[in-house]
Structure 1
């Protein structure tokens, strides 16, 4: 099973511009996704679709994503608003007013969570949502399950983007997930760069964004002394490709940019590749 992940699009960041940078970056990303082979089984969009949660931005996104003839699953980020999203995507499942649901017709069971706490950058996960997740995981204890959410409930090391591990909602979510060993991974967005770590007995992966990226800077911040450090950089838009091979999830990330090709699969490379195949089969002679 092959899953493409797109995250943190932030459409409508510059609503006065007809040629908004984030729209152009998203279109370039979609063009790259449509060239992925083998053909992906679905696309996950892990939040911050619209920068201001407005209906016009969601409508633009819907028109663009409809060009890709693949199933699209979406969750909400801290820049999204449920009212605007639900107006444009009324068919998206909701539980107790939250955009969270289960997709059960793939080799991986996919559970989409809602960590949006409107008006709060750092997200949330209340008792209602935790109860719902506990029930969904308990009903299929032997199905390999993938969690999809916007906010990574971890200390990223990037101080201004980190969600406090001691926050009640983080502990609540961690406690639920840690009780269920069938969770093979958790896919997140929010931080605008690639991060991989262990969490709650599984592997948590943060996908880089299609919008501009967050600079990697692990130095502490003094909120009383701005130090002019770079925070956002116009690196190429990126997306994730997650491959479920029946045993584990393997994640790759691709930047959407022009690159000089240094090697191709030609007759010159054929002998070397055959040797690698023989090594894997255990039939290669040592050099």
Structure 2
């Protein structure tokens, strides 16, 4: 998941969006079809868990995803706050500093990177975070890697999103270009699924549970979000990566051919 944008109870995002109800609907959808996928090892949220960085919003998020009973892996987004995130999810994050983490999930090495620059919309990978990534990739030793960060490591063409993108995409590419194993990047911030390429590796933006952005590439495109709710991605590893978009609702059927 990405971009859940949870706020304290009684609040609405931009005075109109009930993001908690939207997330509850997506959690219910996942629960209703979960038996089709076999075992799910973890829930990954690639940033903007909260909309305001408040302790109350992180507590509320935990209660909303609790019905999934899944271990949680997270990366901070531009709407998040490090101290509040660390306090709420201390078992899932480092004690201090950048919220970078690596963990083994089945046969995959999951690497989460902190791109947050607090007080700004755009993100960057600090020298320490780039060094962390280099070390984590060395330990992965050519094995499959799922690399997670919030700010997109590629341009999406939506001007106001690219304006708050990752400032040092080239530095990330330099670290990744020599990794010979299977590596998939997952990011957030775009609120819809886009497939791109970064240093020879497939990169995906995850949809948001609460809203989308119009794919409007005009320089004067209006700045704002669409009220359409979207779903999430299911990542599988079986001699190769496979990523499947799970929509927020199901159509009728199945009907016989």
Does TM-score exceed 0.5, indicating one fold?
yes
Which sections of structure 2, spanning at least 5 residues, go unmatched? none
Distance 1:162 1:194 in 2: 15
User: Cα distance, 1:164 vs. partner?
Assistant: 7.7
Distance 2:173 2:157 in 1: 18
Determine whether 1:7 maps to 2:2: yes
Counterpart contact for 2:46–2:188, Cα < 8 Å = yes
Q: How does 1:165-204 map to 2 (within 5 A)?
A: 167=167, 169-204=168-203
Distance 1:155 1:164 in 2: 10
- Relative to structure 1, the CA distance from residue 92 to residue 166 in structure 2 (aligned partners, 3 Å threshold; closer, same or farther) is closer
Please give the secondary structure, in 1, of the residue aligned with 2:147.
Answer: strand
Please give the secondary structure, in 1, of the residue aligned with 2:125.
Answer: coil
Largest Rg, 1 or 2: 1
Q: How does 1:233-252 map to 2 (within 5 A)?
A: 233-246=226-239, 248-252=240-244
Distance 1:81 1:165 in 2: 18
Q: How does 1:1-287 map to 2 (within 5 A)?
A: 6-12=1-7, 15-16=10-11, 21-34=18-31, 35-36=33-34, 37-39=36-38, 40-94=40-94, 97-162=97-162, 167=167, 169-221=168-220, 229=222, 231-246=224-239, 248-261=240-253, 263-264=254-255, 266=256, 269=257
User: Cα distance, 1:220 vs. partner?
Assistant: 1.4
User: Cα distance, 1:11 vs. partner?
Assistant: 0.6
- Relative to structure 1, the CA distance from residue 180 to residue 12 in structure 2 (aligned partners, 3 Å threshold; closer, same or farther) is same
User: Cα distance, 1:243 vs. partner?
Assistant: 2.0
User: Cα distance, 1:188 vs. partner?
Assistant: 0.8
User: Cα distance, 1:163 vs. partner?
Assistant: 5.0
Q: Which moved more, 1:184-193 or 1:236-245?
A: 236-245
Please give the secondary structure, in 1, of the residue aligned with 2:68.
Answer: coil
Which sections of structure 1, spanning at least 5 residues, go unmatched? 1-5, 222-226, 270-287
Counterpart contact for 2:86–2:93, Cα < 8 Å = no
Distance 1:212 1:20 in 2: 9
Counterpart contact for 1:189–1:208, Cα < 8 Å = yes
Question: How many residue pairs end up in the alignment?
Answer: 251
Relative to the length of structure 1, the TM-score reads: 0.81
Distance 2:4 2:237 in 1: 25
- Relative to structure 1, the CA distance from residue 44 to residue 94 in structure 2 (aligned partners, 3 Å threshold; closer, same or farther) is same
Please give the secondary structure, in 2, of the residue aligned with 1:67.
Answer: helix
